[in-house]
Structure 1
């Protein structure tokens, strides 16, 4: 399996056009492509920069000529869960006709869309990308190729991967930035390439505050990693 991470701009997509005009972003939760009806049904999270931006974005989305249906499932402040049905875009048709398939959720913001697309072989990938270039603007950000053994291992350990991901997501912005700067500057190397005093100077806070931020971030990441390991060990024992 070939898995592509593609930064895409479609010229016939309601979501992309809406994010071009309004400060709103969309993240797919569920999707279903109906090739017989040439349409895509989705459940998405819409997040506006403000409550007003959310309302403006939803109005623009409903008014788009390629939008068949758009309804609100729930809404609070500047975030809404919506259901939509849109006409099949050129990029969707190209991927589908060349044997491709969606392998993960897509995100749309600032007139660009992040796609995760899979192909079974190099020829299908080459044909699809050549056709995509005719009517869309895209850039392949990442490409991975999995054989059956690592792919099976990835699927079997998806719960463990989620545990580790949740541990990373639990970091506050300050904890994440402190941990990233410390790691990037060699704090965890042996011997250390930076000190708490230097990190304190970088963030313009006390040495004690830096130490506390690092310990909180380490504790959260370690908790996620241990939960992930427990899940992997449990499967191996079974």
Structure 2
């Protein structure tokens, strides 16, 4: 299996056009392509820069000529879960007609869309990319190729990967930024390339505050990693 991570700009996509005009982003939760009707049904999370941006974005989305249906499932402040039906775009049709398939959720913001697309062989990949170039703007950001054994291992251990990801997502914005900066500046190298005092100066906080943020980050990530390891061990025993 060939898996592509594609940064895409479609010129006939309601979601992309909406994020061009309004500070709103969309993340897919569920999708279903009806090839006979040439329509795509989706459940998405819409997040506006503000409550007003969310309202403006949903109004803009509903008025798009390629939008067949758009309704709110739930809403809280600047975030909403929505259901939509849109006309099949050129990119969707191209991927489907060349035996490609969607392998993961997509996210749309700032007039661009992140797609995860799979192919069974190089010929299907080459045909699709050549045709996509005629009516869309895209960049292949990453390409992976998996043999059956590797793919089976990924699928078998997807729960462990999700657990680790949840541990990372549990970090607050401050914890994540502190942890990333410390790692990038060599705090975890031996010998260390930066100190708590230097990190404190960078964030304009006390050394105690930096230390606490790092400890919270490390604890959350470690707990996620340990849970994932337990699940991996359980899978191995099975």
**TM-score normalised by L of structure 1:** 0.97
Which SS does the other structure have where 2:44 is aligned? strand
Deviations 1:44-86 (A, max 9, x none): 1111112221111111111111111111111111111111111
* Correspondence for 2:108: 108
Superposition deviation, residue 198 in structure 1:
2.0
**Count, aligned residues:** 238
Which SS does the other structure have where 1:167 is aligned? helix
* Correspondence for 1:25: 25
Provide the rounded CA distance (Å) in 2 between the counterparts of 1:61 and 1:203.
39
* Correspondence for 1:36: 36
Provide the rounded CA distance (Å) in 2 between the counterparts of 1:208 and 1:78.
34
* Correspondence for 2:165: 165
Provide the rounded CA distance (Å) in 2 between the counterparts of 1:41 and 1:126.
27
Provide the rounded CA distance (Å) in 1 between the counterparts of 2:142 and 2:37.
32
Between 1:161-170 and 1:183-192, the stretch displaced more is: 183-192
* Correspondence for 1:63: 63
* Correspondence for 1:51: 51
Provide the rounded CA distance (Å) in 1 between the counterparts of 2:228 and 2:30.
25
**TM-score normalised by L of structure 2:** 0.97
CA RMSD in angstroms comes to: 1.0
Task: List runs of 5+ in structure 2 lacking aligned partners.
Answer: none
Provide the rounded CA distance (Å) in 2 between the counterparts of 1:197 and 1:100.
52
* Correspondence for 1:8: 8
Deviations 1:16-68 (A, max 9, x none): 11111111111100000010111100001111112221111111111111111
Provide the rounded CA distance (Å) in 2 between the counterparts of 1:6 and 1:25.
17
Deviations 1:128-173 (A, max 9, x none): 0000000000111111111111111111111110110011011111
Superposed counterparts of 1:126-141, under 5 Å: 126-141=126-141
Provide the rounded CA distance (Å) in 2 between the counterparts of 1:207 and 1:52.
39
Which SS does the other structure have where 2:162 is aligned? helix
Task: List runs of 5+ in structure 1 lacking aligned partners.
Answer: none
Q: Is 2:186 the counterpart of 1:178?
A: no
Superposition deviation, residue 93 in structure 1:
0.4
Provide the rounded CA distance (Å) in 2 between the counterparts of 1:119 and 1:19.
28
| Structure 1: 4+ residue segments shifted above 6 A | none
* Correspondence for 1:124: 124
